Amino acid sequence: MPVYEYECLKCGKNFEELQSITDKPLKICRFCGGDTRRLISQTSFSLKGSGWYKDGYSTPKPVAESKSPPPEKKPAPPDSAKKVSSKDS
Ligand SMILES: [Zn+2]
């Protein structure tokens, strides 16, 4: 089953949901109940990442500690850096 990544529009948390392809996208933040949007899931991208959600996120465990800030928020879309104006060379 694919893992979908969501970002809460209200509290800004990112979280993942293990869902079937036929499942409807999650609309409710599991932390605050706010609206969410689904991010593009990139498996290869996540594997070379910091590895904090390589495993351990497949089981839904409650995030009790709200002290630690979210890992890193990247507002820019992941793959749009290609079409910058051609001023190299
Ligand atoms: Zn939220």
pLDDT above 90 for 7:
yes
Cα 16 to ligand 1 centroid, rounded to whole Å: 12
Cα 13 to ligand 1 centroid, rounded to whole Å: 6
Cα 20 to ligand 1 centroid, rounded to whole Å: 22
pLDDT digits (tens, 9 = 90+) for 43-76: 544 555 555 555 555 556 666 666 777 777 777 7
For position 12, what pLDDT does the model report?
A: 95
pTM value is 0.43
Question: Strand 36-39 and strand 14-18: pairing?
Answer: unpaired
Other CB atoms within a 10 A radius of the CB of residue 36 amount to 25
pLDDT above 90 for 37:
yes
- Report residue 21: phi and psi, to 5°: -60, -30
Q: What is the DSSP letter of 5?
A: E
- Domain chopping of the chain, boundaries: 3-47
CB 41 within 8 A of CB 19: no
Mean pLDDT to the nearest integer, 4-22: 91
Cα 40 to ligand 1 centroid, rounded to whole Å: 18
Mean pLDDT to the nearest integer, 76-84: 69
